[in-house]
Amino acid sequence: MKEFFAMGGYAFYVWTSYGLALVVLTINLLAPIRQRRRLLTDIARRMRRARRER
Amino acid sequence: MIVRFFHRMASPMHFYRIAGLFVPWLGVLSAALLLAGLYGGLVLAPTDYQQGESYRIIFIHVPAAWMSLFIYVVMAAGGLISLVWRIKLAEVIAISSAPIGASFTFLALVTGSLWGKPMWGTWWVWDARLTSELILLFLYLGVIALYGAIEDKRVAARAVAILALVGVVNIPIIHYSVEWWNTLHQPATITKFDKPSIHLSMLVPLLLMALAFKLYYATVVLMRARCEVLERERNSRWVQSLVEPAAR
């Protein structure tokens, strides 16, 4: 197991690459989830305001 | 019949609904392939006789680089379709692709650098492959910035489509750079016509990772496109009844 993480002395290069890949994939997944939630609440708020002004 | 099918599919409301059905399945499939690819690449694949364990960066680097080109072509094709046939959905797909493509280009560049340092002895060289890939990143960033800078989204999308189409010239340059110029970067390992110069135990995880990345792109581009549709259609009846079903 220790050997596996050592990556034959290339641990820094290999694990930084895989770590960055994980970060990039996670960010791109979370961004649209957050944006959708924000949009839906924003649209709902504007609709309520529009109804009150009517 | 087919024309009607496409028009129905391209209507924002149908797209929003159908894309929403596809997203979870694509996501799960992509995650499964990703796990299989990681297991194959990190555990099963043997150590390289020349590069030792450092070669394992290939399972991130090469699929990311392939995606950087693939997504650009999708984006440019979307731009072309939106210019010629004025299909709004093509515009939405094109603009939603840009940040994802930029991410993969960034990943390809940084993992390449992390691989280059131990193998070539340098983080970066200004050779044709590396430089043209860097230009690709700037093209993506240009597309994102241009779209954000123009208020009218329809006008912005047209400007972006033209920029994306002009930038297509860079794609064959990246692809053939390792053949046209004497680059430090090695030539392609996997080509359509020759037998790949890589052992099956390394090829399988590589292709699994590539497929996983492709499905991941399909997942997140649909998610982004749904947001874009929602934003553009926010005043339409279907979006409002989606937000507040009881109000209508």
pLDDT tens for each residue of A6-45: 888 888 899 999 999 999 999 999 999 999 999 999 999 9
Put simply, the answer to whether A28 touches B100 (Cβ < 8 Å) is yes
Q: How close, in Å, is residue B40 to chain A by CA atoms?
A: 14
Distance (Å) from the alpha carbon of A13 to chain B's nearest alpha carbon: 5
Residue type, A16: T
Q: What is the domain partition of chain A in residue ranges?
A: 2-53
Q: What is the pTM of this model?
A: 0.91
pLDDT of residue B222: 97
Q: pLDDT grade, residue B39 (50/70/90)?
A: very high
Average pLDDT on B139-163 reads: 93
Which token pair is B243?
A: 């937000």
The amino acid occupying position B43 is V
Q: What is the four-CA torsion angle of B114, B120, B126, B128, rounded to 10 degrees?
A: -100
Judged by CB atoms closer than 8 Å, whether chains meet at A7 and B54 is answered as yes
User: Across the interface, do A31 and B99 touch by the CB < 8 Å criterion?
Assistant: yes
CA nearest B35 in A: which residue?
A22
Identify the DSSP state of B75.
H
Cβ(B140)–Cβ(B72) below 8 Å: yes
User: Cβ of B239 and A17 within 8 Å?
Assistant: no
The token pair that represents B156 in the structure block: 């912005």
Closest residue in B to A29 (Cα–Cα): B220
**Which two three-digit tokens encode residue A13?**
């290069």
Q: What is the pLDDT of residue A7?
A: 85
- CB contacts of B52 in chain A (<8 Å) are 8-10
Distance from CA of B239 to the nearest CA of A (A): 9
Tell me the Cα Rg of chain A: 22
- Map out the domains of chain B as residue ranges: 25-228
SS3 readout for B1-34: CHHHHHHHHHCHHHHHHHHHHHHHHHHHHHHHHH
Contact B121, B196 (CB under 8 A): no
pLDDT at site B176: 87
Coil vs helix vs strand at B87: coil
**Mutation for B interface: A5, A12, A22, A28, most B CBs within 10 A:** A28
- Note the pLDDT tens digit of each residue in B43-80: 988 888 888 888 899 999 999 999 999 999 999 999 99
Tokens in use for B137? 């990143």
Chain B residues closer than 8 Å to A33 by CB: 223
Angle between helices B12-39 and B88-120 (to 10 degrees): 20
**A43–B239 C-beta distance less than 8 A:** yes
Q: Binning pLDDT at 50, 70 and 90, where does residue B8 land?
A: low
Chain B residues with CB-CB distance to A47 below 8 A? 240, 243-244, 247
